[in-house]
Structure 1
Amino acid sequence: MLDLEIVPERSLGCDAWEFVLGMHFSQSVAIIQSQVGTIRGVQVLYSDQNPLSVDLVINMPQDGIRLIFDPVAQRLKVIEIYNMKLVKLRYSGMCFNSPEISPSIEQVEHCFGATHPGLYDSQRHLFALNFRGLSFYFPVDSKFEPGYAHGLGSLQFPNGGSPVVSRTTIYYGSQHQQASSSSPGGVCGAPLPELPLSCYRHQLHLRRCDVLRSATATQGLRLHMFTEGPGRSLSEGGAGRSVCRVVRFGSSAQRVCAALGAPARTYYKADDKMRIHRPTARRRPPPASDYFFNYFTLGLDILFDARTHQVKKFVLHTNYPGHYNFNMYHRCEFELTVQPDKCDSNSLVESRGAVCITAYSKWEVVSRALRVAERPVVLNRASSTNTTNPFGSTFCYGYQDIIFEVMSNNYIASITLYQPEGTRPRYAVNSIA
């Protein structure tokens, strides 16, 4: 049984780890993965067809805890303890819920102090005690009418008849009504705090990515980011600061590292497995492999040419649940403006306006505006030769110098921006703002 500490309006955790309001989904998953054997039977709940309108939920049924994430920002907004019998709970070191201690109204008031009168829902027969950032819900028998003693939110009960907490919610702010529903979909309006400083972890985080383009070609990316403030540690109350950098095609690996810092991982493209069958395979040394810089908190991959070590491709990830790479990247909040190709039909040239594409655009709208007619390439990933992708295939469409990877629900999984072979400069373009 987990023994956890509640911090109203902030977190639920212990000395080794804690779930903090505002933390990213991937950081919560990393905590759970580090507690294999202690936290078991975890479920991830999401809407396959409406991933932006239904909350993203991590359910821990064996511990009676549910983590509810904003579907757009993918950050934690509500912590719900829906089975009090499966967990021990403390506040400021004082235990108020355990197999030996029943979380009655009197026990809660003794531990947390006085509050303003609670709220009674006569239709659901549910009584709520609300503190800032914390609510307790008590099921009440219909024969008891709400009455208050000494200005506190207590009902009048016979001896031994006081109800016990059935559910507890931790949230940001004082809008307890927005977190009062027992269903995950009922907390969509709960306020969302900023990313806590304890979750920065000395990494850059993305606010917005502007794709820089000429009429029909990509030039680079302008990245608006934030990180911890210089010269002050988190324990000293260091604040975040904003950073803006521009990375272009042709920039060297050194320049990219100077602008964005060291990548979270470097990935070398796999060698051609059929090369060993060629007659010249034994006589020629294998060529060097192109390599990616993976920036997971930016939702960005940058591909470098193995020979020149210059940028030749960007991959922007949208991190939708149901995709093969879900939870590897934070969502890249990009804005891509595309000028459609001119259409020549019956000797008449039709002019169309620019199309703005974001991480939330649906492909059916984008393809209609751009009039993408070519058939897609079907992409089916697998973790090994003996396993299949449980999420199914995605579909890749090419347009100008862009490749759109589209999921079966019509949302864009990733966008690849590349520089055509004939347009690459011989020398690096090292202009980084």
Structure 2
Amino acid sequence: MAEVSGEGVEGGRAEVEVVDLCRELIRIDTSNPGDHSGPGERVAAEYVAAKLDEVGLATQIFESHPRRTSVVARMEGEDPSRPPLLLHGHLDVVPADAADWSRDPFGGEIADGCVWGRGAVDMKDMDAMILAMVRERMRTGRRPPRDIVLAFLADEEAGGYFGAKWLVDHHPELFADCTEAVGEVGGFSFTVRDDLRLYLIETAEKGIAWMRLTATGTAGHGSMVNDDNAVTELAEAVARLGRHRFPLRLTKTVRAFLEEVCDAFGIEFDPDDEEAVAETVARLGPIATMIGATLRNSVNPTMLRAGYKTNVIPQTATAEVDGRFLPGLEDEYFATIDELLGPKVTRDSERQLPAVETDFSGALVAAMADALKAEDPAARAVPYCLSGGTDAKAFAELGIKGYGFAPLKLPPELNFAGMFHGIDERVPVDGLQFGVRVLNRFVDNC
């Protein structure tokens, strides 16, 4: 059983346990560099399975590749005729260099009212909330209204190909009767004033296009004039991409979010005034960068490779770029990319995942909003689009509607967006406790 020391933490059993579960998960290094050279998720998966088995919930462990491990379980609800709800979280984290951190990134320390470590917000906090909530329900026999499918997944930080995507491709029967899913990067607060906090529920994600660009020219001696230089051709194409500013495009979700923000601040919403939209986003402080990235498509050059000797002009040069496109704009996006590349540079897909979007309506959304309001009377749930991607993309292939709802009440000064893949990642202890209470209420009414 998890050590329920709490170290000064007060509250019910789940509220104490969620803190220790989060700390223990952080201490298990599941760094995912994207090439199987990391430790994998096996140890963390066994830890999760043991915690569920301990309270009588049977688990299945799946290993898509050595040490790349996921756990799936199913908690019975009161009405088995209803479609189950899928709750999913990933066990892997991005790597962390301890030299850059103020504290051990795999120490799971409590300091300044926070749990510190890699994965504290992305997303071992939500893994811990789910575990604490489920363990308490299993101990007390408190069944949810419908079945809950639990999935703790490998490889999300590299696209989910050895986690969610692998399970969807090889074991779709695990999720075949699910119609809705709840995962990460949503349900966190943005304080407008003391009596109003917006809680952002993720209902959309930009698509991902990691591309390899290749230019081919004529090889030769570095001392010669060469008008067919692959490096020059590639560099010019990369510069065009990097400097291109895609036009403002307000999708359904982004427009709805901006309308809510304008209403909260008491300002007029003008979707056709790009300067006014930018000023509205700027009011969002620490999350402005995250939201600003959802106003338009984007592409960022990230890697360049060419040549093997200074005095040899290489025949080929390659670059890698990170592209992101909004829901409904995929075809337009790639047409623009190809125009910017020009005829002498080709592109190949390294990794491509779709944009997803669902409506901010229905009983599940109402259950989220009500659960937040019950724990925070100042709460107002609003939809938003995530600039990154989650395992919701894989589950969408099965027709499952995905929402980001890992509830956290955050201090206004915390740079929450900066916690994702950043140094000194941390989550407030009282935020974890708030989250497990909200999640419990949500499940009661899902």
- What is the TM-score with the length of structure 2 in the denominator? 0.22
In terms of fraction of residues, the more helix-rich structure is 2
Where relative contact order (Cα < 8 A, 6+ residues apart) is larger, the structure is: 2
Report the structure number with the largest CA radius of gyration: 1
